Amino acid sequence: MLKLPKKDPMPINEFARALDKNVATPYRWGSPRGVRGHRLRLTRIGGRTYVYHADWEAFERALNKDQVLEPQDLARTRQHGEDVVDAELDAAGF
């Protein structure tokens, strides 16, 4: 999880700078397309765009949740990898 200053709300240009990203990137994350079906919530105040720390954490949590494998998935993946290696060794004559 990236550490951002606790400034709330944070202007989008400062937010992008803190993440070492172009300012267009958080706008893209907040677009209807989002990232893997998840959108960063952007807040407009007085014609300016801001990101709340809680919204960033929720977005980051949603993205990372998709990458977590359950223990049974890990076992299945590991077994598949072992099967592939065994087949390749058998084909090579080992």
Question: How confident is the model over 65-81, as pLDDT tens digits?
Answer: 866 555 655 556 666 66
Considering the domain boundaries, does residue 68 fall inside one? Answer: yes
CB 42 within 8 A of CB 32: no
The pLDDT value given to residue 68: 57
**What pLDDT, in 10s, does the model give residues 6-23?**
678 899 999 999 999 999
The residue among 52 and 1 whose pLDDT is bigger is 52
pTM, full prediction: 0.64
Choose among 32, 35, 22: nearest CA to 63. 35
Considering the domain boundaries, does residue 1 fall inside one? Answer: no
Q: How far apart are CA 92 and CA 74, in angstroms?
A: 27
Average pLDDT, the chain: 83
Domain boundaries, position 88: 10-92
The residue among 74 and 63 whose pLDDT is bigger is 63
Question: Total domain count for the chain?
Answer: 1
